[in-house]
Structure 1
Amino acid sequence: MVKEHIQDLPLEDVIGDRFGRYSKYIIQERALPDARDGLKPVQRRILFSMHTEGNTHQKPFRKAAKTVGNVIGNYHPHGDSSVYDAMVRLSQDWKMRTPLIEMHGNNGSVDGDPPAAMRYTETRLSAIAGELLTDIEKRTVDFIPNFDETTNEPVVLPARFPNLLVNGSTGISAGYATEIPPHRLDEVIDAVIMRMEKPECTVEELMTVLPGPDFPTGGIIQGVDGIEKAYKTGKGKIVIRGQADIEDVRGGRQRIVITEIPYEINKASLVKKMDELRIDRKLDGIAEVRDETDRTGLRIVIDLKKDADAALLLNYLYKATDLQVAYNFNMVAIYNKRPVLMGLHRLLDAYIEHRKEVVTNRSVYDLERAKARHHIVAGLMKALSILDEVIACIRASKDKQDAKNRLIEQFQFTEAQAEAIVTLQLYRLTNTDITALEKESAELEKLIGQLQAILDSAKKLESVIKRELKDMKKTYATERRTVIEAEIQEIKIDQKAMIPSEDVIVSVTREGYIKRTGLRSYSASGGLPAMKESDGLLFKQEMNTTDVLLVFTNKGSYLYLPVHELPDIRWKDAGQHASGVVNGFKEESIVAAFSVRDFAAPQFVLLATKSGMIKRTELAQFNVQRYSRPLMAMNVKGDDEVISAAVTEGNSTILMVTHFGYGLRFPEEEVPVVGPRAAGVKGNSLKDGDHTVAVIASSQGEKAQFIAVTSRGSAKRGSFDQFEETTRAKRGVVMLRELKANPHRIAGAALAADDRDYYIRMKKGADLKLDITMLKKVDRYSNGSFVVDEKEQGAVQGLLLTEKASE
C-alpha cells in the first residue's frame, strides 16, 4: 500500500500558492497578447494548426469543427467553445481591422447575433494570416513541446507585419487588463520604418505617419492629446462617436442618418436604446427609429417630427446613448514573459527586435542549406569532369555503401558528395547538365555572399526587414476608415429644449402623494383629486412640464422634482407617494410646495421652524443637477421641525404667529441670507410651552391681511398694520383676547388671498373648506367667529391653502 503523506499547512499559504500559479498561467498563457506577434496563445495555436494542416487561403475551405478538434487535440487543452469563439472573432471584419481567418457561413453580426455552430461553418487562413506564419519552418522561432509532449508548438509566430498594433487586442486576466485599439496597416509599417531609420524619433514625429487608431467600424475619434498620451505612457482616453448626418426630407422634415457606429458597440442595443428614448418621451422630437442596414452597409434612420431641432436631438443621442463612447487605452502586452504597460516606442521596438531575430535565424538556416547544396553541386561537377572513372569505380563496387567508400577513398569526395553521386539519375549525365550545375553553383555562391552579408551587417539586416515591410504595405494597404479630430467636442444640451412643453395640473397632498395630470383629465373631473380620507390637498397649480416643483419637508429637506419626470396620473386616481418618486424619502411630512420656472430670478426661499428659527436662501442655491435623493434646505436641530416655507422677492414684510397668540412683524431684510446647510437665526422669542405655528410673508407691507384659525374652531381676518413693525428676536404682541376658561390657541394662519382655497385641517375627519369672503376684518384682540362646532366636529389642527379650484 502507498503510504499517505499529509502536510499540515496554513490555509492562506495553500490558497496563496495555488492562486499565484493560476494567476501566472492566466497572465502568460491566456488573456494577454504577446508584444511580438500580437496574438494570445489560443489565437496562435489556431493559426499554427491551420497552417500545419494546409488549411491556407490557396486551398478550399474546411469545416471549422475539424480545425477546432485539431487545436484542442494537439495544442490547446481547453473546451471547444473557447477555441471556436476565438476563431470566430478572428474572422469578424467589424472587430478585426485585418481578419486573419476567412469563414463561410454565419459568423455572427454587429448586432450581437451568435455565430452558427462549428459543424455548419467552414474556415481557412486569410492571405495576410499566412504572412504571420511565413518562414516558420526555417527555425525562425523557438518551439516547445505541447501539453502531452506528442508534438511541438511555436512560442511566437514570425509575423511579417506588426499584428498587435494592426488588429489591437482586448483581454482581462488576474490583476491585469489590456485594451489596444486597431490601426491601419500601412501607417503602422511607416511608423516601424521611421523607428528603424531614426531610433531617437519622438512620439510627435511618429504621429505624423501614425496619427492614431483606425477602427474597422469607422467612426470619428476626438482627442489627439489622449492619443499622444497613450502612445507615450500606454494609457490615455479618447472619445469615439458614430458618423451621423442630418438630411432634409419632403414636407419640411429632417432625419438623422447614422452610417458608422463606435467600435465594439452592439448596433441592435443602440437602436433599441434610441427607440426607448422615443417611447419614454425623453426625446419628443423623434417620430420613428429604423434600422435599414443591408448588404450595402450600415444605416440607422431616425425620422424627426416637424419643427424638431435635429442638431439638438443628435447632441442628445451622443450624450445619452452609445452613439458616442469613451475609449481608454491600456496597452499591456507580454514582453520577455512579463506583462508590461507599453507606449508606442516600446511596442515598435519589441516588434523590430523580434523581426531582427527572425530574419537572422532565417538567414542562418538559409545559409546552412545554401552551403550544403553548394558542397553537393561542387561534388557533382567534379564527378562529371571524371565521369568515366567514377562510373568504373561504381561498377566495380559490391553495393551502394561500398561504392560510396570507394568514391571517398579514390577521389576524396565527402560523405554527402558521395551520397549525391551514387543516387544521381542517369539522364543527368549529359553535357547540358554541367552547364546547369555551373549556373546553380554561381547562384549559390551569390546567395551565400548575400546571406553572410546580412549576418555580418546590422544595416543589411535592417534593409531586409524594411524591404519586406514595404512589400507588405504594397500588397495589403487599405484606406483609413476612422476620422481623427483634434479636440473633444463638448456636448451642450439645453435640457428645457429637450422637454416637450405641455401645461399640466400638479398636485401634492399633505401625506406626500404627488402627480401631474393633463388639463383634459382635470377639466373632465374637477374638484379634489383622489385621496385617502385622512389626507388633504396641500398644493394644486397649473404648471408647465419645463418647470420644477420644489417640495419642502418638516425635517429641513427639499425635493427637486422636474415636472416632466412626475408620474402622469389621471385626476380621479391617487398620485404616487414621494418615496416612490425620490429615493431615501422616509418619515417626513410635507410642509409646502412651490412652482419654479426660472431659478435665476432674484428670489429667496424663507424657512422657519417650530422653535422660532428663521433663514432665507437665494432661490438659485436650490437648482441642482443631481436630485435622486432628498437635499438639505435647512439644518434642523434636535426635535425641532420646519413649519413654514415661502418664496419671497426680498422686500417682504414678515409676520410670525405663535400658538399662544403672539404676533411679531419685521422686515425681511432682518433675516440674513445664508446657504442651504445653515441653521438660520432666532426669529421670535417664545414663552415656555409656546411654539411658532406660522410665518407669513407679504410684499404688500402693512396692507396685507391674514386668516387665522383657533383650536376651538373660530376664524378671524386681520391685517399686518395691527402689529407695529419692529425687529426680529422679540416676543411680539397678543392677537387674541385672553379667556381664563378654555382659551383659544392659534392652530394655523396664512396670508389672505383671493386666488387661494382655504381648508381647515381637523384632527379627526376630512378637511373643511373655509369661505374667507364671509370673514370680515376684526381688531387684533378679537377671537374671531366660530366656523366649526368644536363639540360635534372636534378640535382644529391647522389651516391649509391651495390654488383656487376652477369653476
Structure 2
Amino acid sequence: MKSVKEKINQFVNERIQKTLLEDIVSSRFARYSKYIIQDRALPDARDGLKPVQRRILYAMGEMGLLSNKPYKKSARIAGDVMGKYHPHGDSSIYEALVRMSQDFKMLVPLVDMHGNNGSIDGDKAAAMRYTEARLSKEAEYLLKDIDKRTVPFVPNFDDEEEEPTVLPARFPNLLVNGAMGISAGYATKIPPHNLAEVIEATIALIDHPNLEAEDLMQYIKGPDFPTGGIVQGKDGILEAMKKGVGRVIIRSKIEVEEISKAQDRIVVTEIPYEVNKADLVRSIDNLRVNNNIDDIIEVRDETDQEGLRIAIDLKKGADAQFYINYLLKNSDLQITFNYNMVAILNNRPVLCGVKELLLAYIEHQKEVVTNRANYELERSMKRNHIVEGLIKMTSVVEEVIKIIRQSKNKADSKINIMNRFGFTELQAEAIVMLQLYRLSSTDIEALMKEQEDLNQLINELNEMLSNERILMRTIKKELQEVLKEIGKPRKTVIEDEIENIKIDHRDLISDENVMIGVTKDGYIKRASLRSFNASKDVGLKENDALVYEKELNNLDTLILFTNLGNYIYLPVFKIEDQKWKDLGIYINNIVPIDKNERIIKVFSFNNFNRDIQLLLATKEGQMKQIQLIDLDVTRYHRPLRAMKLSKTDELVSVDINRKPNIIALSKLGYALRFNTDELPNYGLQAGGVNSMSLNEGDELVSAFYAYDSDEFYMLTNRGHVIKDSVMELPKYGRNRRGIIVIERLKTNPHLIVSASRFSKAQAKEDVNTLLVSSKESLKVLVSELKYSNNKFGKKMLDDGFYISIDDAKEDIEEEIIKKEPPKKETKPIKLKEEQVITKTNQQIRLSRLDLFDDEE
C-alpha cells in the first residue's frame, strides 16, 4: 500500500505543476488580449485593415477576382479564406466581406458585390450562397505589387500556405475608410476621410516633414462620410488631428419644400454615418405619436433609386424651422461622433493623431517601394545577363547549333556551349531553350533594344535605392496616379462652429384650456374641460380635499411652494392628462420631494417677465419679498430653493402682487400691520428678516398684501370664519407683536389656521371662496360668509385647515390708486407698547374685542 502512495506522489510531483490561479489567469488573459488586440479588432496603421479583411482581399487576389474579371460566389470566397487563412466561423468572414462592399459603410468600397448586400435600413445581406463578389478597382491598389516581395509573408495557421502580414496599400486606407472596433482594454473609432484630401496631405507631408496638424487641415478638411451629411466643430477636428481624440456633431442635410401656400414639408436627403434609416423614421414617428406633436401630419420613407429621402409633412401654418430644430435635438437626425484613433503601430496599440498615421504610412511605402525596387533590380539584372548572352550567341549561332546537334541531351548541350564559348549556366539555359524563329534579324534588334532598356532601368533602380529623394519622388508619383484614377469629390459638408439648438417645448403644445386641481395631500391632476363638466364629483383620496382648482391653459406654469422653503416649477403640459374623477398623480412621482415636505400654496403664470413681487413668511415670523422673474428656470427636475430656513422653521404663507400694507396673523390671534416698504427684496437663496414678534408657543400662520380699504377673513381651527378690517388695525413698525383680533377662550380656544384678503371688487363680483377642513372642502360664494355681530364669526366647517378667496376680475382699489395723484406720505401711528401697565402693575392687553359679547 505504501509503495502505491509513493508512486502516486511521485507521479503528481513529476506531472502536475503547482501554480497560483491568479498567475495562470493573468498569463492566459495577457495572451488572449494580445491576440484580439493585434489579430482581430484593431486595424494596422500601415494598410488600415484588420486581419480578417486583409485575408479576404489577399485570398480574392490569389483567386484572380480582379475588378475586370467575372464574379464568384461569396460562399466560395468565404470557404477559401476560412480553409487557408482564417480558421474561424464563415459567418464572421462573410460579414466582413459584406461590410467592405457596402457603400453606406465604406467611403471607398473594397469589394464589388453582386446581389443583396444589405441596406442602410439595417437589412441583412442575402446568404453567401446567393451573392457573388470580386475586388473593386480601389482594392486592387491595396494589393498592387504584392507579388514582388514588397511585404513580408508568414506561414498560415497550418504552415501549408503563406499570407502577408500587411498589404502594399497604394493609398492611406486607414484614414480613407476609417475603422471601428473593440478589444481588451482598447477601442478604436476612426472616421473616413476624403481620399483626394488624404493623398494631398500625404504628398505635402513628404515635401515638408515638419508640417503640424494645423497645416494638414489645409488639405484634410475633416471627416468625409459615405452617407454625406454636415459635420460641425472645427475645434474638435483639429483636436482629433493632433491627439487622436475629439468630438464633432454630424447633422443630416435637410430641405424645406412648399406643399401649398401656407404648408411646408421637411425633407431629409442625407443622414448621419452609421444611423439606421428605418429606426430613424420610426423614432421620428414615435416622437409625433408619444409627444402629441399635432403639427406633424405624417412621416414617410420615400427612398428610391434616385437617393435617400425622408418626408415629414407639417400642418398649415406650422413653423418648419422649429420642427427641424426639434427633430435634430430629439432624434438621430443629429448625432455626436467621438474620435478615438487607436491603431496597431510597431506591433502595439497606439492612440495617434493624423500626422503620426501619415508618417507610419509613408514609412511603410518607403519599405514597399524599396523592396519592389530590389525585386525589380534583381530580375532586371538577371534578364540583362540572359539578353547579353543571347546577343553574344547571335555572332556564333551556326557553331552553337552544330554543338547542340552533336550533344547527347539538353544538359550535355549546356555544358558543351558553356565550355566552348564561356556562357554562364543561366545564359546556356536560355540559349538551349531558344526557339529558332527568334534568330531572325528583327528579334536580334529587339534583344538589343531590350538590353538598352534594361540598362536604363537598372540605372534608375540603383539611383532610387541609393537616393532617398528619388525614392520619395516615386512614392509621390504613385500617389498622384492613384488620386487621378480613383479620387472622388467630398460628400460631407464641414462647418466650423457647432450650432447650439434651443427648443422651447411650449411651441409643441396645443393652445387648449384644461382644469387643474391640487389637493392638500399633494395630488395633482389635469383634465379636459369636457371631463370636468361631465364629472359630478372630483376624484379624491379619503380625507383629502382640493386646495387649488382653476381653469388654465396648457401653456401656463404652476408654481407650488412647499413648507421647506422650496418651490416646484411645473408646466401644465407636463402634468399627465387624466379624468377629473381620477385621484391624480402624487407630486413625488413628478418631482422628488422629502418625506416631510408638503405643498402650502399654488400659483399659475403664463409670463414670468413681469414686475411682480411675492411675499414669503415663515412660522417663526421671518419674511422677505422676491421677484417673480427669479422663479423662471429652464431645468426643473427637482424642487428649487425659494427661501433659506433655519432647521426649526417652515414656510407657511405666500402671497402675490405687492400692495402698501403687509398683514401678519399669528395662531394665538395677534395681527400686525406694517408698511410693505419696510420689508426688503431678497434673492431666492437668502433667508428673511424678523417681521413679527411672537410670544412663546405662538407662530405665524398667514401673511398677505393689503390696501387700506381692504378687509380680510380668518379661518379658525374650529371651522369659524371671522371677518376684520385693515383700517381697524393700527400701523406699527416691523418686528412688533401687533394687537389681538380674536378673543381668547380658556377652554377650546379659537386659533387662526389661515387667512385671505377680501377687497371691494371681490365683494362686488361675489367671487367663490374655498374652505378646506381636515376631511373635506366647501366652495361657497363670499356673500355666504356674512354673519351677525358674533365676535367668533360664522361656523362653516367642523374644523379649519385653509381658506382662499378667488381674485376679482377688476380690483377697484387698484384703479383708484392709479387715477388719484400720489399723496404725501404720512408717518404711521406708532404705539410704543401694545400693553398698558396700571398703577397696580397689572398688564392689560389692547384689544378691540372688549366691545363684543363673550357668546359664540
- Normalising by structure 2, what TM-score? 0.87
Q: Which amino acid aligns with 2:792?
A: N
**Structure 1: runs of 5+ lacking an equivalent:** none
Q: Secondary structure at the match of 2:772?
A: strand
Equivalent position SS for 2:399 = helix
- Contact 1:95 1:264 (C-alpha < 8 Å) held by counterparts: yes
Corresponding residue number in structure 2 for 1:660: 668
Task: Using the TM superposition, give the Cα deviation of residue 442 of structure 1 relative to its aligned residue in structure 2, in angstroms.
Answer: 2.1
Q: 2:325 aligns with which of 315, 329, 342?
A: 315
Q: Which residue of 2 is the match for residue 232 of structure 1?
A: 242
Choose which of 628, 634, 650 in structure 1 pairs with 2:643.
634
Q: Does 1:357 align with 2:367?
A: yes
1:805: how far off? 13
Contact 1:718 1:777 in 2 (8 A): no
Equivalent in 97, 106, 123 of residue 113 of structure 1: 123
2:309, 2:209 → 1: CA distance? 44
2:632 equivalent in structure 1: 623
CA deviation after TM superposition for structure 1 residue 803, in Å? 5.1
Contact 1:591 1:643 survives alignment (8 Å): yes
Change (3 A) 1:16 1:655: farther
1:715 maps onto 2:715 in alignment: no
CA distance in 1, matches of 2:344, 2:660: 73
* 1:146-174 Cα shifts (integer Å, max 9, x gaps): 23333222111101111112112222333
- CA distance 1:666–1:224, change in 2 (3 Å): same
Deviation at 1:281, TM superposition (A): 4.2
Q: Which amino acid in 2 is paired with 1:351?
A: Y
Q: Structure 2 CA distance, aligned partners of 1:178 and 1:568?
A: 46
Q: Which residue of 2 aligns with 1:592?
A: 601
What is the aligned counterpart of 1:687 among 688, 691, 695?
Answer: 695
CA deviation profile, 1:39-98 (whole Å, cap 9, x unmatched) = 122211111121122222222222222222222332223333332222221111111111
Aligned match of 1:701: 707
The 1:82–1:584 alpha-carbon spacing in structure 2 relative to 1, beyond 3 Å, is farther
Distance 1:237 1:449 in 2: 51
For 2:683, which of 675, 694, 719 is the aligned residue? Answer: 675
Aligned pair in 2 of structure 1 residues 585, 124: CA closer, same or farther (>3 Å)? farther
Q: Structure 1 residues 638, 210: closer, same or farther in 2, change over 3 A?
A: closer
Residue 156 in structure 1 maps to residue 159 in structure 2: no
Q: Are residue 782 (structure 1) and residue 785 (structure 2) matched?
A: no
Q: 1:199 to 1:778 in 2, by over 3 A?
A: farther
Counterpart CA distance in 2 for 1:115 and 1:729 is 82
How do 1:57-136 residues align onto structure 2 when only pairs under 5 Å count? 57-136=67-146
2:567 is aligned to 558
Question: Following TM superposition, by how much is the alpha carbon of 1:101 offset from its aligned partner in structure 2, in angstroms?
Answer: 0.7
Once residues 421 and 51 of structure 2 are traced to their aligned partners in structure 1, the CA distance between those partners, rounded to angstroms, is: 54
Q: Secondary structure at the match of 1:628?
A: coil
- The 2-side partners of 1:98 and 1:702 are apart by 83
Pick the structure with greater CA Rg. Answer: 2
Q: Secondary structure at the match of 1:118?
A: coil
**1:735–1:782: 8 Å Cα contact kept in structure 2?**
no
* Pairing 1:389–2:399 present: yes
Hey, what's the Cα distance between the residues in 2 that align with 1:777 and 1:181? Answer: 82
* Local SS of the residue matching 2:708: helix
Map residues 138-157 of structure 1 onto 2, 5 A cutoff.
138-157=148-167
SS class of match (1:244): strand
Secondary structure of the equivalent of 1:444? helix
> Which piece of structure 1 moves more, 733-742 or 745-754?
745-754
Mapped pair 1:762 → 2:768: no
- Could you tell me which residue of structure 1 aligns to residue 3 of structure 2? none
C-alpha distance in structure 2 between counterparts of 1:352 and 1:136, whole Å: 17
Residue 345 (structure 1) aligned with residue 355 (structure 2)? yes
Match of 1:9 among 8, 20, 24: 20
- Change in Cα spacing, 1:629 to 1:147, as seen in structure 2 (3 Å) is farther
CA 469–480 in structure 1, closer or farther in 2 if over 3 Å, else same: same
Report percent identity of matched pairs.
49
Structure 2 residue identity aligned to 1:593 = V
User: Aligned pair 1:727/2:733, yes or no?
Assistant: yes
1:229-275 alpha-carbon deviations (Å, 9 max, x no partner): 33233333322211111121225311111111122222222222222
In structure 2, the partner of 1:799 is: 802
Counterparts of 1:371 and 1:34 in 2: how far apart (Å)?
34
Q: How far apart, in 2, do the equivalents of 1:83 and 1:549 lie?
A: 60
Q: Report the Cα distance in structure 2 between the residues aligned to 1:187 and 1:693, rounded to whole angstroms.
A: 75
How many residue pairs get matched?
A: 793
Shift of 1:126: 0.7
SS at match of 1:290: strand
Contact 1:608 1:614 in 2 (8 A): yes
Which of 500, 512, 517 lines up with 2:522 in the alignment? 512
1:490 counterpart SS class: coil
- Cα distance in 2 for partners of 1:674, 1:445 equals 95
The range that moved more, 684-693 or 312-321, is 684-693
Q: Which runs of 5+ in 2 are unaligned?
A: 1-10, 810-856
Distance apart, 1:702 and its partner CA: 2.7
Pick one of 738, 741, 757 that aligns with 1:751.
757
How far did residue 414 of structure 1 move?
Answer: 1.4
The 2-side partners of 1:72 and 1:733 are apart by: 98
Distance 1:802 1:405, change over 3 A: farther
1:488-517 deviation digits (Å, cap 9, x = unpaired) = 333344443343322222221222221222
Cα distance in 1 for partners of 2:802, 2:457 equals 107
TM-score (norm 1): 0.92
Counterpart AA for 2:718: R
Q: Which amino acid aligns with 1:7?
A: K
Q: Structure 1 residues 634 and 77 mapped into 2: Cα distance closer, same or farther (>3 Å)?
A: farther
Q: What code does the residue aligned with 1:530 have? A: G
Farther off after superposition, 30-39 or 662-671 = 662-671
Q: Distance in 2 between matches of 1:16 and 1:22?
A: 10
Letter in 1 for 2:726: F
Q: What amino acid is aligned across from residue 155 of structure 1 in structure 2?
A: T
In structure 2, C-alpha distance between the alignment counterparts of 1:668 and 1:109, rounded to whole Å: 71
- Asked if residue 539 in structure 1 is aligned to residue 540 in structure 2, the reply is no
Deviations 1:502-538 (A, max 9, x none): 222222122222122223333444x653212311111
1:391 is paired with a residue whose SS is helix
Counterpart secondary structure, 2:180? strand
Find the partner of 1:601 among 604, 610, 623: 610
**Alpha carbons of structure 1 residues 743 and 201: separation in structure 2 relative to 1, 3 Å:** closer
In structure 2, what is the Cα distance between the partners aligned to 1:775 and 1:46?
Answer: 92
Query: 1:276-319 deviations in whole A, cap 9, x for unaligned?
Result: 22223454422221111111101111111111111222122222
Shift of 1:474: 1.6
Paired with 1:553 and 1:450, the residues of 2 have a C-alpha distance of: 89
Distance 1:443 1:775 in 2: 120
1:169 matched to 2:179:
yes
Post-superposition Cα deviations, 1:561-580, rounded to whole Å, max 9, x if no partner, equal: 11112112232333222233
- Return the alpha-carbon distance in structure 1 between the equivalents of residues 779 and 449 of structure 2: 120
How far apart in 2 are the matches of 1:756 and 1:159? 86
TM-aligned CA deviation for residue 583 of structure 1 = 4.1
Do 1:757 and 1:805's aligned partners in 2 also have CA atoms closer than 8 Å? Answer: no
Contact 2:546 2:772 in 1 (8 A): no
Q: Deviations over 1:191-214 (max 9, x none)?
A: 222222233345444333332222
Amino acid across the alignment from 1:801: S
Alignment check: 8 A CA contact 2:719 2:800 kept: no
Residue deviations 1:83-136 (CA, integer Å, cap 9, x gap): 222222111111111100111222221122222232332221111101100000
Kept in 2: contact 1:719–1:777 (CA 8 A): no
Query: 1:718, CA displacement in angstroms?
Result: 0.9
**Cα separation, 2, equivalents of 1:346 and 1:778:** 95
1:629-664 CA-partner distances (Å, limit 9, x unpaired): 233333444354332223333x45322222221222
